[in-house]
Amino acid sequence: MLSSEAVELHLRGRFGKPYLYEPECESTQQLLVDSGLPEGAVAATDHQTGGRGRLGRTWEEPAGSSVLVSVLLHPPAERRLPELSLVAALAVAETVELAVVLAAQVKWPNDVMLNRRKVAGILSELSDGTVVVGIGINVNQTRDQLPLGAPTEPASLRTATGTTYDRAVLLGSLLMRLERMYDVWLDAGLDGIYGGLGARDFLRGRRITADGEPATAVQILRDGRLEIETDSGEVKALESGEVLFAR
Ligand code: BTN
């Protein structure tokens, strides 16, 4: 369970203060939006009945299988918010790597990949100067419990390794790492974490389709945009959107 009792003993920083837990809720995002809570407030659940993904999609999981968490942040207004999804994605990738002892990658702009499959997604929502960063990690689902028909083929830590994982330990480790990475980003911007990010850039050099156009991904740039070269030879930087890759 991701109850306060299970998770709080793994928390030593300011993220997770307060720590809101519901055994089941519609979406952890809703527990923090317009809550007036301080930066670092966290909401977690063992099951969402209306989990939200990016681009209007749903995020579904069997109860008790996943890490489902939202974190409230108050970043300075002038900062580029899409960068925050990359900060969170890198924190998730490092957390996953430490747990499964396999290399994880960040698929721009907001997915975490293991063995070329998506194990986690991030949804950052801005409202009134606060950002709610929602993170879903597929942890203990079996293959047949993963969603069908997702644009990027899904996996869980369990399907990737054959082992089950303690979700509370994972969440504690994620929140510590996210806090450290967020602080680096506040101080130094994306440059401060670019070493880790560039080394885990899943799309680099891959054949992709960006908004329907065939292209090759060049790299995640230091400002968080994705540089691509279209098949007609145009080099451009994408701000956001969805990129599909050829498996
Ligand atoms: C995506 O890949 O499209 C983003 C998925 C984000 C899912 C997480 S689970 C916790 C939080 N609550 C939600 O409703 N969504 C995010």
Instruction: List, for residues 41-67, the tens digit of each pLDDT value.
Output: 999 999 999 999 998 999 999 999 999
Ligand 1: does its nearest atom lie under 6 Å from the Cβ of 51? yes
CB of 243 closer than 8 Å to CB of 209: yes
Atom of ligand 1 minimally distant from the CA of 69: 10
Query: Could you tell me the domains of the chain?
Result: 4-199 (3.30.930.10), 207-245 (2.30.30)
Instruction: List, for residues 168-219, the tens digit of each pLDDT value.
Output: 999 999 999 999 999 999 999 999 999 999 999 999 999 999 888 999 999 9
pLDDT band at 247 (very low <50, low <70, confident <90, very high): low
What pLDDT, on the 0 to 100 scale, is given for residue 89? 98
CA distance 34 to 12: 26
What pLDDT, on the 0 to 100 scale, is given for residue 177? 97
Give whole-number Cα distances, 79 to 50, 186, 223, in Å. Answer: 30, 9, 11
Which helix (H) or strand (E) segment holds residue 83: the answer is helix 82-100
Q: Is the pLDDT of residue 80 over 90?
A: no
CA distance 102 to 9: 26
pLDDT band at 127 (very low <50, low <70, confident <90, very high): confident
CA distance 28 to 45: 7
CA distance 135 to 84: 12
User: How many whole angstroms from 233 Cα to the centroid of ligand 1?
Assistant: 35
User: How many whole angstroms from 22 Cα to the centroid of ligand 1?
Assistant: 16
